């Protein structure tokens, strides 16, 4: 009798399309205290290290389910992201390259403050910033638009030379991921808030939805067109266990 158990959650073979996995770092003490980290270099705490180890195992299972598909890992240069990336690299055997453009938003005067302190001191600025108004600078630092642009520039550059069917894993940060995803997917700025941020050590997956295409209908000439992207997974970190009827409520059987 065939098994009715659900199949494991794995990335299906990408075929001619490449994928990008945005992966947020594990927890830090500032995350736990609800402090605005920005580009302050705060290390993972014990919980964050455990999260990184567990999530790395899940992602490695996804990536290595198609062992011939190439994988490239790139990380923000901030230690919380780099340590998270190294947990995955230890399982897959890949190197980790570093790109400072994958950092979190520079938060200027807000860095190190709790969100309650920011709300008390900068009520109008934080309200407008949380609504993704494009010209608002976090604590006098970066705007959402500036962060999105540098993130997308870094991702597209790191994709160069990655063969078809390959996956780029980007170990980065929550706020930077959200706006980069929105820009990569082509969402207008007034809809960027439709995407949630990522929880610690959760990930999102996008896939190229538009490959190179012939220049003319009956021509073998290939014209490179800007890649379009589609969202496959968002803010994923684990899956629920299948429901099983408690033994005392099941059908009586003789054994």
Active site residues: 25, 104
Length of the chain: 255
Helix 79-92 with 46-64: angle, nearest 10 deg = 40
Query: What is the distance between the alpha carbons of residues 156 and 224, in angstroms, rounded to a whole number?
Result: 14
Query: What is the distance between the alpha carbons of residues 136 and 70, in angstroms, rounded to a whole number?
Result: 39
Answer whether 139's CB lies under 8 Å from 107's CB. Answer: yes
Answer whether 91's CB lies under 8 Å from 55's CB. Answer: no
Answer whether 76's CB lies under 8 Å from 99's CB. Answer: yes
38: closest CA among 143, 173, 159? 173
């Amino acid at each position: 009798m065939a098994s009715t158990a659900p199949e494991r959650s794995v990335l299906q073979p990408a075929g001619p399309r490449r994928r990008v996995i945005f992966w947020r770092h594990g927890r830090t003490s500032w995350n736990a205290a609800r402090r605005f980290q920005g580009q302050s270099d705060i290390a993972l705490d014990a919980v964050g290290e455990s999260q990184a180890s567990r999530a790395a195992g899940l992602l490695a299972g996804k990536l290595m389910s198609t062992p011939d598909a190439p994988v490239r890992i790139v990380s923000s240069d901030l230690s919380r992201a780099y340590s998270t990336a190294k947990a995955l690299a230890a399982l897959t055997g890949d190197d980790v390259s570093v790109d400072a453009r994958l950092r979190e938003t520079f938060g200027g005067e807000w860095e190190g403050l709790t969100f309650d302190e920011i709300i008390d001191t900068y009520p109008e600025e934080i309200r407008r910033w949380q609504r993704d108004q494009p010209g608002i600078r976090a604590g006098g630092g970066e705007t959402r638009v500036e962060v999105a642009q540098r993130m997308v520039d870094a991702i597209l550059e790191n994709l160069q030379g990655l063969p078809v069917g390959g996956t780029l894993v980007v170990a980065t940060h929550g706020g930077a991921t959200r706006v980069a995803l929105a820009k990569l997917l082509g969402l207008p700025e007034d809809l960027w808030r439709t995407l949630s941020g990522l929880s610690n050590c959760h990930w999102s997956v996008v896939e190229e939805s538009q490959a190179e295409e012939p220049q003319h209908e009956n021509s073998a000439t290939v014209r490179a067109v800007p890649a379009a992207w589609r969202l496959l997974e968002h803010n994923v970190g684990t899956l629920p266990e299948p429901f099983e009827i408690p033994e005392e409520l099941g059908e009586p059987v003789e054994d």
